[in-house]
Amino acid sequence: MITEEIIREVIKENDFSLSKKETIKREKEIPLKSASIIVVTGIRRCGKSTILQQLLKKVKKKIFLNFEDTRLEGFELSDFQKLEKIAIAEKINCYVFDEIQNIHQWEKYVRSAHDKGFQIFITGSNAAMLSRELGTKLTGRNIQTELFPFNYLEYLRFKKGKPGIISSKNYLTNGGFPEYLVTTDAEYLRNLLRDIVIRDIAVRRNIKNEHVILRLALYLISNVGKEVSYNKISKIIGIKSVRTTINYCDFLKESYLLDFIPRFSYSIKQQQINPKKVYAIDTGMARANSLSFSEDDGRMLENAVFIQLRQHSQDILFFRDEQSECDFLVRKNDKIIFAAQACWHLTENNLKRELLGLQNAINATGVKNGIIITFNQEDKFGKIKAVPFWRWVQNNIF
């Protein structure tokens, strides 16, 4: 239980600290004038609170509470009534709640406040924990959106840079976590990964051997762009149950640390049982936590392409047949709309392979055409174009 005095103190300090931040405009559009509860999810430290600050800059009267503030430790459902008392007294009808999933039965108050006419914005770093309550108690009352670390265009804005090979290489190396880009201290990204795995996953999911899931996360982040099977992972990490491995991978995905894409198949069952390819949500995060990744330019580019695609779609796949492979397919309304290879540098040795994989994917899926995304090469091979990463992201990527 928290006193009203402490709540007032936290509100006052948060309002002051928010107003002093310098920010850049993000690509993500979030509706301000909506009758729905606005929910923003994404990995820790990617700028969720900041984007809401931008959105609500003209809203003078609002209450911002970060439920990971140690002064709010022990905040209970009943304490929301003290908060509402303050809001009514100050004639405030806008709430911004950060990491609200930490509060047991939070959805009960949010529903009640929404019914009373409060405008409510929620942020959280675990999609599943928020979605569970949103899907039951708040169905039809919320609009959900995802936020990620800076994409390349946002990175340019942040760095006041120009598109080209130098800025794109720097982006591939450093990624898009705002605070890291200020300090470039790799220890920040190592600590962030550890905090996500230990605090957000192991503690909340009551995983007793936290070092096992940490080893799993580090193994996967060292193998981005590669196919992984749950059986093989279980043996390598020493996890007895394959089901446990699947659950742990799901937890890592829900925290936005990693993502997994299935192999294309017209059979849903086959898609589920085939090995998946793993990617990190940020290339800087992967580089800081894996020596093998930082030394592989090709995988760094491939992961960056995935990040760009993931910011526009949740339905991404890869293609493989007996002869070839295509890195990315994007599906919309059960139809493949985009096919791409990621290749750092096209040579006589790899050009035939890249074209074959793309052409076979086009033939198998019916997608109209494909593209090869390179670091800095531009060319055309029949209907297939090769385009530099930095140029591709400036255009409509699909």
CA–CA dist 159, 313 (Å, integer): 26
Q: Could you say which of 146, 181, 216 is where a domain stops?
A: 146
Assess whether 33 and 180 both reside in one domain. Answer: no
Tell me which residue has tokens 């007294």: 89
Q: Which residues of 214-237 are buried (b: 16+ CB within 10 A; e: fewer)?
A: bbbbbebbbbbbeebebeebbeeb
Reported pTM: 0.95
By C-alpha distance, which of 116, 74, 68 is closest to 92? 116
Give the helix, strand, coil percentages of the chain, each rounded to 5. 45, 20, 35
CB-based contacts of 200: which residues, under 8 Å, 6+ apart?
44, 125, 126, 255
Q: Per-10-residue mean pLDDT for the chain, 398 residues long? A: 95 72 84 91 95 88 94 97 98 95 93 96 88 81 95 97 98 98 97 97 95 98 97 97 98 98 93 94 97 86 98 97 98 97 98 98 95 98 96 89
Assess whether 139 and 173 both reside in one domain. Answer: no
- Domain hosting residue 228, numbered range: 152-392
Q: For residue 387, what pLDDT is reported?
A: 98
Assess whether 232 and 122 both reside in one domain. Answer: no
Assess whether 72 and 200 both reside in one domain. Answer: no
Assess whether 87 and 199 both reside in one domain. Answer: no
Q: For residue 362, what pLDDT is reported?
A: 98
